[in-house]
A and B are shown apart, each in its own frame.
Chain A
Amino acid sequence: MLKDLITPETANVFIGKLGDILEKAIGKPLGYAINWGRIWSLWPVHIETACCSVEFGAASSPRYDIERFGIIEAFGSLRQCDLIVVQGTITRKMAPRLRLVYDQMPEPKYVIAMGACAITGGLYFDSYNVLPGIDGILPVDVYVPGCPPRPETLIQGCILLQEKIKRMKARTIV
């Protein structure tokens, strides 16, 4: 009888129901495990937007070594990335591209606003070509102040993000 019920059309429904049952039973520990996996493999997108990228590069250097904390160097394709570190000033020319990059990243994705320019416009608050912060285009998770922030500050921002992810509700079974 069960064999008759499970056809390719209904299989998805059954798997979904199974997912619900599983989530009821072991959802909480499973979500914790998934979040635990996420925080140690944050991949930043390789997009430099302004001069803070110098300090982002220095944070990957042997002295600061951001990989210790599970932030991998920004080498990969943006289709595999889940973190975007907005490194400084966003100009009006860059803003649509930044949003485009963000939209192409798969869920779940997190945003760190690095530097005073990305937070409020910073030193360029009155420039004609600079956005006053990136709040209007991206949902920011962590703000890292400084002009530019020291690598230690950036590392602390990343750790704060990991703390935040730990407390987030993971969508456990998809």
Chain B
Amino acid sequence: MTTELPSDIKPTSSKILLEKPSSDWLPPGLALQKVDERIMTLNVGPQHPGSGHMRLIVQIDGDYIVACDPDPGYVHRGEEKMAEYRNYITNIPHLERPVIHDSCNILYPYVLGVEELLGIEVPERAKYVRVIAAELNRCIYIMYWLAIYGIFLGHSTMFMWPTGDRELLIDLMEKMTGARVTHSHFIPGGVRNDLPSNFEDVCLRQVNYFEKRIKEYAAVFYDNPILISRTQNTGVLSRQDAIRLGVTGSVLRASGIDFDVRKKEPYDVYDELDIQSIVMKEGDAYARSKIPWLDMLDSCNIIRQALQKMPKSGSVRVKLKPNPKGKGFDTVYKRVESGRGSLGCYIVSDGKPEPYRLKLSVPSFRNLIALPYLLKGEKLGNMPSVYWSLNYWPVEADR
């Protein structure tokens, strides 16, 4: 009982599909391509145990990846647009939401930039408090990253151990700032609160214990032959390619380039502390997964040094005038080393209480460009280990 369509109403869908698409505005994966019977296209994500909040359009030939097209933007919340409607102080809580478990570090360049715009000099003790908070946050971030890396590789112990141990440092941050993950602790002019009374002792004790714990991870994870066979010589990024693609952070240092913003362009008091920047030559997924762990051991060192050198008393904030604003048209670009790499903040001020334009140059977005190159020629089973070794946090990349 097929009903005849009137002749003037044609089903248009097939016609539209057969037209040559203007490839500029088509979403990834929907552009018509020449079909090869050997090539299969897989959509990995956004609902997939190995993808996170993004989609990877992977083309495979048998078991080998031919091409990969990342499709981020599932958490694009318009932070930069919203920042133009809020003043410099009320921007603080929502600018840390892209990486809530690294919230001090993502606020750091913004706060440094606003301080430069306003011409504020921060008290010495506040600088040390900031460094301690930033390093604790780096550890908290890397522990979560490591836990998810364990999940991606099917290593459940490596999910349970880091998520349990990072609670130690979360407790410290909670003691210091009052919040578990979203601290909003850094403000232009210092930090919000002084340290609680016996913080130094508790911090030293917990950091020492934490260091002892994470040293044990080598036995269960980094020396594990299964992990080594899955990650070594997988997704190799050569030194030249790393420079060309402009990757940052642990991805860059795993490819043999010694670049750490804390060391190269020290901010606050990092020039008074002894920082190792860990460099490995291999450039494979194993090196990329090991460097954050070594960074954590280094962070414990930095925290101990900072606790020792910190002035025992003094003010931790400069009182600001209400509704601070920049003086005339000015631009500032500040960068810090976050848990994922160099994180920059570009602020254009036009003398109003709100920024004229605010841009977060986030390391996840910069590292994402390497993914298609690393996955080409890899086996599909190695995709999660390469993908998460890029130290990539999709919420931050999308902003």
- Which A residues form the contact surface with B (CB < 8 A)? 45-51, 53-55, 57-58, 60-63, 75, 78, 89, 91, 93-94, 97, 101, 123-124, 126-130, 147-148, 150
Contact indicator B160/A61 (Cβ below 8 Å): yes
**Within the complex, what minimum Cβ distance (angstroms) separates A133 from chain B?**
14
B291 at the A interface (CB under 8 A) = no
**Within the complex, what minimum Cβ distance (angstroms) separates B140 from chain A?**
10
From B32-40, B70-78, B316-324, the one touching the partner chain is B70-78
User: A54, A91, A147: which contacts B74 (Cβ < 8 A)?
Assistant: A91
Q: For A93, list chain B residues within 8 Å (CB).
A: 73-74, 76
How many angstroms between the C-alpha atoms of A75 and B159 in the bound complex? 12
- B52, B76, B98 — which one has the most chain A CB atoms within 10 A of its CB? B76
User: A89, A97, A123: which contacts B46 (Cβ < 8 A)?
Assistant: A97
By beta carbon, the residue of chain A nearest B55 is A97
User: B47, B76, B85, B182: which contacts A126 (Cβ < 8 A)?
Assistant: B85
How many angstroms between the C-alpha atoms of A89 and B100 in the bound complex? 13
Q: For A97, list chain B residues within 8 Å (CB).
A: 46-47, 74
Q: For A101, list chain B residues within 8 Å (CB).
A: 47
Contact indicator B167/A61 (Cβ below 8 Å): yes
Known contacts A62-B163, A123-B94; A47 and B77 CB within 8 A of each other: no
How many angstroms between the C-alpha atoms of A130 and B52 in the bound complex? 19
Contact indicator A63/B164 (Cβ below 8 Å): yes
Contact indicator B48/A127 (Cβ below 8 Å): no
B226 at the A interface (CB under 8 A) = no
Q: For A150, list chain B residues within 8 Å (CB).
A: 180
21 A-B residue pairings within 8 Å (CB atoms): A46-B47, A48-B53, A49-B46, A49-B53, A49-B74, A49-B75, A51-B100, A53-B53, A58-B170, A61-B163, A62-B160, A63-B164, A75-B49, A123-B93, A124-B77, A127-B77, A127-B81, A128-B78, A128-B81, A130-B77, A148-B182
How many angstroms between the C-alpha atoms of A46 and B53 in the bound complex? 10
Q: For A94, list chain B residues within 8 Å (CB).
A: 46, 53, 74-75
Contact indicator A48/B76 (Cβ below 8 Å): no
The prevalent SS among residues of A at the interface is: loop
How many angstroms between the C-alpha atoms of A148 and B166 in the bound complex? 17
Known contacts A47-B47, A91-B75, A147-B182; A124 and B163 CB within 8 A of each other: no
How many angstroms between the C-alpha atoms of A62 and B147 in the bound complex? 12
Known contacts A54-B100, A94-B75, A126-B85; A45 and B47 CB within 8 A of each other: yes
Q: For chain B residues 87-110, which have a beta carbon within 8 Å of chain A?
A: 93-94, 97-101
How many angstroms between the C-alpha atoms of A91 and B81 in the bound complex? 15
User: A45, A61, A89: which contacts B164 (Cβ < 8 A)?
Assistant: A61
How many angstroms between the C-alpha atoms of A36 and B207 in the bound complex? 44
Q: For B46, list chain A residues within 8 Å (CB).
A: 47, 49, 94, 97
Q: For B163, list chain A residues within 8 Å (CB).
A: 57-58, 60-63
Known contacts A51-B100, A94-B46; A148 and B181 CB within 8 A of each other: yes
How many angstroms between the C-alpha atoms of A94 and B73 in the bound complex? 9
B243 at the A interface (CB under 8 A) = no
Q: For B147, list chain A residues within 8 Å (CB).
A: 57, 61
Contact indicator B74/A51 (Cβ below 8 Å): no
B369 at the A interface (CB under 8 A) = no
User: A46, A78, A126, A148: which contacts B100 (Cβ < 8 A)?
Assistant: A148
How many angstroms between the C-alpha atoms of A170 and B144 in the bound complex? 39
Q: For B76, list chain A residues within 8 Å (CB).
A: 91, 93, 129
Q: For A57, list chain B residues within 8 Å (CB).
A: 144, 147-148, 163
Q: For B99, list chain A residues within 8 Å (CB).
A: 51
Contact indicator B144/A91 (Cβ below 8 Å): no
Contact indicator A62/B164 (Cβ below 8 Å): yes
**Within the complex, what minimum Cβ distance (angstroms) separates B144 from chain A?**
6
Q: For A47, list chain B residues within 8 Å (CB).
A: 46-47
Contact with A along B45-70 (1 / 0, CB 8 A): 01111001100000000000000000
B158 at the A interface (CB under 8 A) = no
Q: For B164, list chain A residues within 8 Å (CB).
A: 61-63
Q: For chain B residues 125-162, which have a beta carbon within 8 Å of chain A?
A: 144, 147-148, 151, 159-160
B345 at the A interface (CB under 8 A) = no
